[in-house]
Amino acid sequence: LAKTTQPISMDSYEGQEVNITCSHNNIATNDYITWYQQFPSQGPRFIIQGYKTKVTNEVASLFIPADRKSSTLSLPRVSLSDTAVYYCLVGALNSGNTPLVFGKGTRLSVIA
């Protein structure tokens, strides 16, 4: 599995756009990228997933450059409730035997 590297922490003011970049230099051809959000004492929650280019849903956007060696989670106009830990995961398509591995994540603090 490709190892991921993320910033340990980030701070942002309410209403700003937040971009969290994840590095996965050894990503394989059949790997996809998934981001999860976790609040204290809760399980992680799926945010967004992509393979290449750009994916957007009602919560966030995911930008993946052509070489796929990194990805950027973009959270538009964050609020205090977006304060959480964000994890970037790389997982193999149709693997069946390769579990998803979490790193330490990025702790986002949103300030009023």
Partner 1 sequence: DAGVTQSPTHLIKTRGQHVTLRCSPISGHKSVSWYQQVLGQGPQFIFQYYEKEERGRGNFPDRFSARQFPNYSSELNVNALLLGDSALYLCASSYSPGQEGEKLFFGSGTQLSVL
Residues 1-30 that bind partner 1 (CB under 8 A): none
Interatomic CA distance for residues 37 and 76, integer angstroms: 15
Least distance in Å: CB of 25 to partner 1? 19
CB closer to partner 1, 69 vs 107: 107
Number of Cβ atoms within 10 Å of the Cβ of 95 = 12
Binding mask 51-90 for partner 1 (x = CB under 8 A): ----------------------------------x-x---
Measured in whole angstroms, the distance separating CA 79 from the mean position of its chain's CA atoms is: 17
Instruction: Report in angstroms the alpha-carbon separations of 48 from 33, 45, 57, 97, 111.
Output: 8, 10, 7, 22, 24
CB closer to partner 1, 78 vs 88: 88
Interatomic CA distance for residues 24 and 21, integer angstroms: 10
Instruction: Report in angstroms the alpha-carbon separations of 103 from 3, 6, 16, 86, 89.
Output: 8, 8, 26, 10, 8
# residues near partner 1 by CB under 8 A: 27
Residues 89-108 that bind partner 1 (CB under 8 A): 91-105
Least distance in Å: CB of 69 to partner 1? 20
Interface residues toward partner 1, by CB under 8 A:
32, 34, 36, 41-46, 49, 85, 87, 91-105
